Chain A
Amino acid sequence: MNVRSQVAMVFHLDKCIGCHTCSVACKNIWTDRKGAEYMWWNNVETKPGTGYPTRWEDQEDYQGGWEVVGGKLRLKSTSKSKIVFNIFHNPHMPSMDDYYQPWTYDYETLFNAPEGEDQPVARPISKVTGELVQIESGPNWDDDLGGSQVYADNDPNLEGLSEEQRAQLSSVERLVMFYLPRICNHCLNPSCVASCPSGAMYKRGEDGIVLVDQNRCRAWRSCVSACPYKKVYYNWFAGKAEKCILCYPRLETGQAPACFHSCVGRIRYLGVLLYDADRIEEVALKPDSELAEAHRSLILDPHDPLVAAAARANGIDEAVIESARKSPVYKFVKEWGLALPPHVEYRTFPMLFYVPPLSPVMSTRAGSEAISHGSPSLFHDIDESRIPVQYLANLFGAGEEDGVRYALRKQKAVRWWRRARTVGDVDEATALRMLDEADCTPEQAEAIYQLTTLCSFEERFVIPPMHREEAIAMVQDPREAQASMGFGFSTGTGRSI
């Protein structure tokens, strides 16, 4: 057992209101610079939809993530031999049109336009070329199902859905959508790191945050194509790759990342997970159908004295282990089985988990039938929900419905349980039976209810003490560094090729 610690995340999709506050918070802090205008380290997509960049989930096209070939794990996008031929021309890059051409407006004309027949207008100007542009798309162009026939209809997750199911998705009174906020997943088996020919990418030992060393990056852009989530971006001005840094400067000072902190729907949870690094390869070689479960099995129980001892032996601080015991992420992912990794079939093992959305299930059935207490199958409406389970399974279970179904059933049972307690239109016996069938106890239901709806800042974000000073001291003697720095020199991150 090789125990490591990882700062992991849960996004509760049932709570996201699609306000993009998270994206704006991130943009204002990190990507409001030349060359980074088009980057959205945090973006919010409408599902069904093609997302940003367009159809990023289509790995046949983008070639991101890992694949198992002949019993071996292999990057889809590149290899040691392939990279020799493609180093100056990476053939699987998203095009600017797949992201979008970032733009601003020519506001000056509003004030300076000479007197004329017409009202002056501020025309859009590209932030890349500085020329006037015709805006054709944006990072959330298909927000709230805008342009559905182009975007929603081409969602790669619709694979395996019948024609009828597809048609229903957008039919009147059955129309459905939900939001999928995305950031870098700070994966356990990051293909971005594996692909970098310069060794510029790394996963921080103490918290598993995946970073790009701006001094070593040589602009090969392998990471851009290798990340299946398209969460590494290339700064065309600086000539470096950039990505979400999980606001580590904030984490190190005990604050939640900006997108977490600002989240209006309070959908975001953050906490430490302990996992077994020795088993990653073995798990990554499992067939798709077992992946989600195997992924979850990597996560270790911090309450287990054996695990804690192994963690201590690996140099993980007692405070971090203690923090792992309080982690809301551990509860959602491991204890309750509510949160699932996105597209686990890419085999990068994301450390951002999603609670699949339940929302429209309630209204699928008309009138009193919705609460047909005596039904032998209390969860039948999950299968008739507006969002087909198959669709969610494509997103959160590599096509396997079991995990998604389990999470949905449990969520529904908790609702019924709380309904029986507060509204009283469901009798307690039925609610208890539902809980039982959903593999839940009343105590657990209360805990889920508590953490989902009434959670405080401290409950949502259990940030471990980062002990950066210890990590740094391992590389450099602090007293020596202090004595040798003087006023210090900081190096910029200009082109250094």
Chain B
Amino acid sequence: MSMTKRIGVLSLVFLWFPAATRAQSAADDYKKSCAMCHTIGGGPLAGPDLAGMSDRRERSWLIRFIVDPQAVVGSGDTTAKAMVDEYKGMIMPALPGMTHERAAALVDYVRERSSGKSDQPASSPKREMNPVTAEDVERGRELFVGVQPLEAHGAACLACHDTKGLESMGGGRLGPNLTSVYERLGGRQGLESWLSAPPTPLMSSLYRTRPLSAREITAFIAFFEARPPREAVSTGMRHGAFSMLGLLGTGLLLGVFHLLWRGRRRGVRAKLVQAYRLRGVQ
């Protein structure tokens, strides 16, 4: 091989390589950041179906939106507003570490896939629609409330989320209420992709290093799918119980303090006056 040829091949490799990695990383990125809420041609999940999005929207708008959805919605953009309304007020979460370049690569990737040029499967194969078993539902409940620990030792859902129909005090109020999460995220598929890589900053920071296993995800899906409809359960009792317990606890604590310091002295003067008044009345 002549020197020139060798240089030619090498430069070809160098020229081709970055492009290949870019495509590669966009595919990865899509899987990690987008796939739990979106499909390309598979119908809407928690977010819209992305097929043909480049035809529907300006490229620059798409990139801007991906980099900071909140800002675009906040800027009063009508398209974005309409979308928020369509998705019941849900705004796409900001993706950690999203840059202009990554967004551009993602837009390109989606466009390529929509046109069917990509040789990769359009999305993960649809879950077989097995009817969920009562066992799965029960396991999901146990995982949710933390009776059974998660395999990777992640925090139980109950710590931050509530869902109607839980016994006693219910769950935390930090995260959103998950009663209708099944419908909100677009059913089984949406839930599955969301749970396999939670995209919100808080969830991802908690579960990136402690991912849920496939078995656990199945159990959660079963649990959320079997949630009774919103109206069927009332939470009034539970909130009442919570306040009651708070009051009771306070009372108990005060009681303990009183016992501990029952020997403390109180004023005497008022008592003297009181005793005198009582005598005066008799």
Chain A CB within 10 Å — which of B263, B268, B272 has the most?
A: B268
Task: Give the bracket for the number of chain A residues in contact with chain B.
Answer: 20 to 34
Min CB distance A100 to B, Å, is: 8
- The answer to whether A54 touches B276 (Cβ under 8 A) is no
Which of A90-98, A111-119, A280-288 lies on the face that meets chain B? Answer: A90-98
* In the complex, B273 has a CB within 8 A of chain A: yes
Contact: A91 with B264, CB < 8 Å? yes
Inter-chain contact B263/A54, CB cutoff 8 Å: no
Query: Distance (Å) between the CB of A133 and the closest chain B CB?
Result: 14
For A136, list chain B residues within 8 Å (CB). 270, 273
Q: Are B272 and A151 interface neighbours, CB within 8 A?
A: yes
A94-125 CB contacts (< 8 Å) to partner B: 94-98
Considering only CB atoms and an 8 Å cut-off, how many residues of chain B contact the other chain? Answer: 13
CB of A145, distance to nearest CB on chain B (Å): 14
User: Does A185 reach chain B (CB closer than 8 Å)?
Assistant: no
* Least CB distance, B256 to chain A, in whole angstroms: 13
Is the C-beta of A157 less than 8 angstroms from some C-beta in chain B?
no
- The CA-CA distance from A55 to B268 in the complex, in Å, is 8
Within the complex, the shortest CB–CB distance from B278 to chain A, in Å, comes to: 12
Residues of A within 8 A of B267 (CB): 54, 94-98
Report the separation of the CA atoms of residues A459 and B260 in the bound assembly, to the nearest whole angstrom. 55
Against A, the Cβ 8 Å flags (1 = close, 0 = not) of B265-282 are 111111011001000000
Contact indicator A62/B276 (Cβ below 8 Å): no
B261 close to A (CB within 8 Å): yes
Q: Determine if A54 and B261 form an interchain contact, defined as CB atoms under 8 angstroms apart.
A: no
Residue of B265, B268, B269, B273 with most chain A CB atoms under a 10 A cut-off:
B269
Task: State how many angstroms separate the Cβ of A54 from the closest Cβ of chain B.
Answer: 4
Residues 226-270 of B, flagged 1 when their CB comes within 8 A of A and 0 if not, give 000000000000000000000000000000000011011111111
CA distance A249 to B157 in the complex (A): 70
Nearest opposing residue in chain A for B261, CB measure = A91
**A42 proximal to B (CB < 8 A):** no
Q: Which residue of B lies closest to A100 (CB)?
A: B269
Query: Would A150 and B265 count as touching, CB distance under 8 A?
Result: no
Name the prevailing secondary structure of the A interface residues: loop
Contact A63 B276 (CB under 8 A): no
A496 at the interface (CB under 8 A from B): no
Q: How far in angstroms is the closest Cβ of chain A from B232?
A: 50
- A63 lies within 8 A of B265 (CB): yes
Considering the complex, give the chain B residue whose CB is closest to the CB of A137: B269
| B272:A50 contact, CB within 8 angstroms | yes
The closest CB in chain A to the CB of B263 belongs to A91
Give, as a whole number of angstroms, the nearest-CB distance from B184 to chain A: 50
Tell me the bound Cα distance from A349 to B147 in angstroms: 67
Q: Report Cα–Cα, A441/B270, bound state, in Å.
A: 51
Measured between alpha carbons, how far is A130 from B18 in the docked complex, in Å?
A: 76
Q: Which of B260, B261, B270 contacts A97 (CB 8 A)?
A: B270
| Complex-state Cα separation, A136 to B273, whole angstroms | 10
Verify if A375 is at the interface (C-beta below 8 Å from B): no
| Residues in A231-282 with C-beta less than 8 Å from chain B | none
CB distance from B273 to the nearest CB of A (A): 6
B88 to chain A, nearest CB (A): 51
Q: Are A93 and B265 in contact (CB under 8 A)?
A: yes
A152 CB, min distance to chain B CBs, angstroms: 11
Q: How far is the CB of B269 from chain A (nearest CB, A)?
A: 4
- Kindly list chain B residues whose C-beta atoms are within 8 Å of the C-beta of A93: 265
Inter-chain CA distance A98–B272, complex, in Å, is 11
A154 in contact (CB, < 8 A): yes
Nearest chain B CB to A88 CB, angstrom units: 11
B268 lies within 8 A of A98 (CB)? yes
Residue of A54, A63, A96, A137 with highest tally of chain B CB at under 10 A: A54
B264 interface neighbour in A54, A92, A137, Cβ under 8 Å: A92
Task: Using CB atoms, name the residue of chain B closest to A95.
Answer: B267
A58: chain B residues within 8 A (beta carbon):
268
Q: Which of B260, B265, B266, B272 has the most CB of A within 10 A?
A: B265
Contact with B along A74-89 (1 / 0, CB 8 A): 0000000000010001
B265 x A92 contact (CB < 8 A): yes
Residues on A with beta carbons closer than 8 Å to the beta carbon of B276: 149-150
| Chain A residues within an 8 Å CB radius of B273 | 136, 150
Query: Are A98 and B269 closer than 8 Å at their CB atoms?
Result: yes
Asked whether any CB of chain B lies closer than 8 Å to the CB of A61, the reply is yes
B257, closest chain A residue (CB): A89
A95 and B272 alpha carbons, distance in the complex (Å): 14
A54→B272 contact, CB < 8 A: yes
Which residues of chain B are within 8 angstroms of A154 by Cβ–Cβ distance? 272
The CA-CA distance from A94 to B268 in the complex, in Å, is: 9
Residues of B within 8 Å of A62, CB to CB, are 265
A175 shortest CB reach to chain B, Å: 19
Besides A53-B269, A97-B267, A98-B268, 16 new A-B residue pairs in contact (Cβ under 8 A), listed by A number: A50-B272, A54-B268, A54-B272, A55-B269, A61-B268, A62-B265, A85-B260, A89-B261, A89-B264, A91-B261, A91-B264, A93-B265, A94-B265, A95-B266, A136-B270, A136-B273
Instruction: Please give me the 8 A-B residue pairs with the lowest Cβ-Cβ distance, nearest first.
Output: A91-B264, A95-B267, A54-B269, A97-B267, A150-B276, A92-B265, A98-B267, A55-B268
Q: Can you sample 25 A-B contacts with CB below 8 Å?
A: A50-B272, A53-B269, A54-B269, A55-B269, A55-B272, A58-B268, A62-B265, A63-B265, A89-B264, A91-B261, A91-B263, A91-B264, A92-B264, A92-B265, A94-B267, A95-B265, A95-B267, A98-B267, A136-B270, A137-B269, A149-B276, A150-B272, A150-B273, A151-B272, A154-B272
